[in-house]
């Protein structure tokens, strides 16, 4: 067990009630945030860094983050992927200052220390001094230094990484049931359609909870429900891996029918007179041949794969302090898409992203919680829909996968 977990004073007192009770302090205490960086984001978890297609050629690099730690991904001379911390070993400055680029070496601008594409230190400026004066001590060896590496692994064109030697393989970490559902969507070469970056005014876990919360979809998102894209009454469910941290929820459009619970309770989401002037937005087809029109998948701690009809995206959730989060969307099609299919995906993208008809509320609701809890840090949320465990269920009227997130969180945090 790592030292951090054997600390006798947990950073957070977990209340009675197991994973069905979460203390609001988890979203507001800087000490919790600091512990998460160490135990989760630098601990034995796998995090999305980028797509392999973003660094296709030798010398290509892209900068991103693992938690709050700046990271560079490179494609080296042999065509292999590498990832390392974007922090010069000399004084700690960022080495790469661009979002992406191509280079034979990476050079820190501060004192011109030069690194190879595998992150190894090649040279330090004036190592031998100038005109016999100055210079590093005789026992300084460039080969003793390198940018701190991460282990990388590729799955379905996605590049994941971990700082930990203790982490299981990526596929073991995700688990076979969830890997299969990831492969269901990302089943052939990809095409990147573009990016969204979204700043959320809430703790990162509030966004991840929202993603895993199958209970809210038809209640918060009126647009979704009104056009019968998604109702709790439709056939669907949630698959959860044994750790609880990874999930895939799904629904089938074809099974939607009028439902008494919706009609009798007169929910906001039950207006049937609401029609689009231009319904081409909803043109979609069953591209995976299984009738599943929405699948939302997550891997602990911060990876999301979304299939909403034919709108496909991966999302990377990056903490930026205790109460700020950056949400990075990479919106995808496939290399073999024809022009019409690409146009359909782009039009459906109006449903998602920061201004998306169905995603915009998800970008706001976390901040409603963040602003609701300052006077109640010792209080807890109530997460009991669908029981108190975190096993797979054949309904989406459940918070099982939210409880699963907290099971995995507590395990990683030693709480």
Partner 1 sequence: MDVERQLRVQDLLARYADSLDQGRFEEWPEYFTEDCVYKIISAENHEQGLPLGVIDCDSRDMLRDRIMALREANIYEDHRYRHILSTTLIKDADDTGLRAETSYQVTRIMRDGDTMLFSTGRYLDRIVEQE
Where does this chain bind partner 1 (CB under 8 A)? Answer: 192-197, 220, 222-223, 226, 271, 274, 276-278, 280-281, 331, 342, 346-347, 349-350, 353-355, 357, 360-361, 364
Which 8-state DSSP code applies to residue 280? Answer: G
Burial 326-345 (b: 16+ CB within 10 A, else e): bbbbbbbbbeebeeeeeebb
Q: In the complex, what is the shortest distance from the CB of residue 308 to partner 1, in angstroms, rounded to a whole number?
A: 14
Instruction: Please tell me whether the peptide bond between 301 and the residue prior to it is cis, using omega within 30 degrees of 0.
Output: yes
Q: In the complex, what is the shortest distance from the CB of residue 66 to partner 1, in angstroms, rounded to a whole number?
A: 22
Place of tokens 């096993």: 391
Q: Which is nearer to partner 1, 183 or 197 (CB)?
A: 197
Which 8-state DSSP code applies to residue 39? Answer: I
Q: How many other β-carbons are positioned within 10 Å of the β-carbon of residue 102? A: 12
Q: In the complex, what is the shortest distance from the CB of residue 357 to partner 1, in angstroms, rounded to a whole number?
A: 6
Q: In the complex, what is the shortest distance from the CB of residue 33 to partner 1, in angstroms, rounded to a whole number?
A: 24
Q: In the complex, what is the shortest distance from the CB of residue 383 to partner 1, in angstroms, rounded to a whole number?
A: 21
Selection from 366, 278, 359, 280 nearest residue 313 by Cα: 359
Q: Which is nearer to partner 1, 123 or 201 (CB)?
A: 201
Structure tokens at 138: 């005789």
Q: In the complex, what is the shortest distance from the CB of residue 269 to partner 1, in angstroms, rounded to a whole number?
A: 9
Q: In the complex, what is the shortest distance from the CB of residue 73 to partner 1, in angstroms, rounded to a whole number?
A: 17
Q: Which is nearer to partner 1, 314 or 331 (CB)?
A: 331
Q: In the complex, what is the shortest distance from the CB of residue 260 to partner 1, in angstroms, rounded to a whole number?
A: 23
Please state, in angstroms and rounded to a whole number, the distance separating the CA atoms of residues 413 and 240.
Answer: 20
Q: Which is nearer to partner 1, 155 or 358 (CB)?
A: 358
Q: Which is nearer to partner 1, 364 or 377 (CB)?
A: 364
- ∠ at Cα 154 (348, 299), nearest 5°? 60
Q: In the complex, what is the shortest distance from the CB of residue 61 to partner 1, in angstroms, rounded to a whole number?
A: 16
Selection from 153, 132, 112, 100 nearest residue 303 by Cα: 153
**In whole angstroms, how large is the CA radius of gyration of the chain?**
23
Please state, in angstroms and rounded to a whole number, the distance separating the CA atoms of residues 279 and 283.
Answer: 7
Please state, in angstroms and rounded to a whole number, the distance separating the CA atoms of residues 319 and 322.
Answer: 7
Q: Which is nearer to partner 1, 99 or 166 (CB)?
A: 99
Q: Which is nearer to partner 1, 90 or 324 (CB)?
A: 324
Q: Which is nearer to partner 1, 121 or 222 (CB)?
A: 222
Q: In the complex, what is the shortest distance from the CB of residue 62 to partner 1, in angstroms, rounded to a whole number?
A: 13
Q: Which is nearer to partner 1, 111 or 320 (CB)?
A: 320
Q: Which is nearer to partner 1, 188 or 343 (CB)?
A: 343
Selection from 84, 274, 97, 303 nearest residue 211 by Cα: 303
194 SS3 class: strand
Q: Which is nearer to partner 1, 158 or 331 (CB)?
A: 331
3-state helix, strand, coil in the chain (%, to 5): 30, 25, 45
Q: What count of residues does the chain have?
A: 415
Q: How many other β-carbons are positioned within 10 Å of the β-carbon of residue 84? A: 23
CA torsion through residues 304, 305, 309, 310, sign: positive
Q: In the complex, what is the shortest distance from the CB of residue 63 to partner 1, in angstroms, rounded to a whole number?
A: 14
Structure tokens at 413: 């945090």
Please state, in angstroms and rounded to a whole number, the distance separating the CA atoms of residues 323 and 392.
Answer: 31
């Amino acid at each position: 067990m790592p030292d951090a977990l054997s600390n006798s004073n947990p950073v957070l007192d977990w209340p009675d009630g197991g994973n069905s009770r979460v203390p609001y302090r988890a979203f507001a205490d800087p000490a919790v945030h600091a512990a998460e960086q160490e135990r989760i984001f630098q601990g034995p978890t796998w995090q999305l860094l980028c797509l392999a297609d973003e660094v296709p050629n030798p010398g290509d690099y892209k900068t991103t983050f693992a938690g709050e730690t700046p990271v560079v991904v490179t494609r080296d001379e042999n065509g292999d992927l590498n990832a390392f911390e974007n922090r010069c070993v000399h004084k700690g400055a960022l080495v790469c200052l661009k979002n992406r680029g191509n280079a034979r070496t990476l050079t820190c601008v501060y004192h011109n220390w030069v690194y190879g594409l595998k992150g190894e230190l090649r040279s330090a400026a004036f190592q031998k001094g100038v005109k016999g004066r100055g210079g590093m001590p005789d026992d300084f060896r460039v080969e003793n230094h390198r940018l701190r590496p991460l282990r990388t692994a590729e799955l379905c064109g996605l590049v994941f990484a971990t700082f930990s030697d203790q982490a299981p393989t990526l596929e073991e970490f995700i688990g076979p049931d969830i890997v299969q559902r990831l492969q269901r969507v990302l089943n052939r070469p990809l095409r990147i359609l573009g990016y969204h970056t979204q700043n959320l005014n809430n703790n990162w876990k509030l966004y991840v909870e929202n993603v895993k919360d199958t209970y809210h979809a038809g209640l918060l998102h009126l647009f979704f429900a009104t056009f019968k894209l998604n109702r709790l009454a439709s056939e669907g469910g949630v698959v959860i891996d044994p750790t609880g941290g990874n999930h895939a929820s799904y629904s089938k459009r074809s099974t939607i029918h009028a439902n008494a619970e919706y009609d009798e309770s007169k929910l906001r989401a039950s207006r049937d007179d609401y029609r689009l002037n231009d319904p081409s937005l909803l043109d979609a087809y069953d591209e995976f041949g299984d009738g599943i029109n929405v699948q939302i998948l997550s891997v602990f701690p911060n990876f999301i794969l979304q299939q909403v009809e034919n709108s496909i995206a991966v999302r990377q959730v990056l903490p930026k302090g205790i109460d700020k989060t950056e949400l990075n969307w990479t919106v995808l099609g496939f290399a073999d898409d024809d022009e019409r299919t690409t146009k359909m995906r782009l039009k459906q993208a109006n449903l998602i992203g920061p201004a998306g008809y169905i995603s915009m509320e998800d970008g706001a609701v976390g901040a409603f919680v963040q602003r609701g809890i300052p006077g109640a840090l010792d209080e807890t949320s109530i997460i009991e829909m669908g029981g108190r465990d975190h096993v797979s269920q054949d309904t989406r009227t459940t918070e099982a996968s939210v409880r699963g997130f907290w099971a995995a969180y507590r395990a990683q945090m030693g709480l």
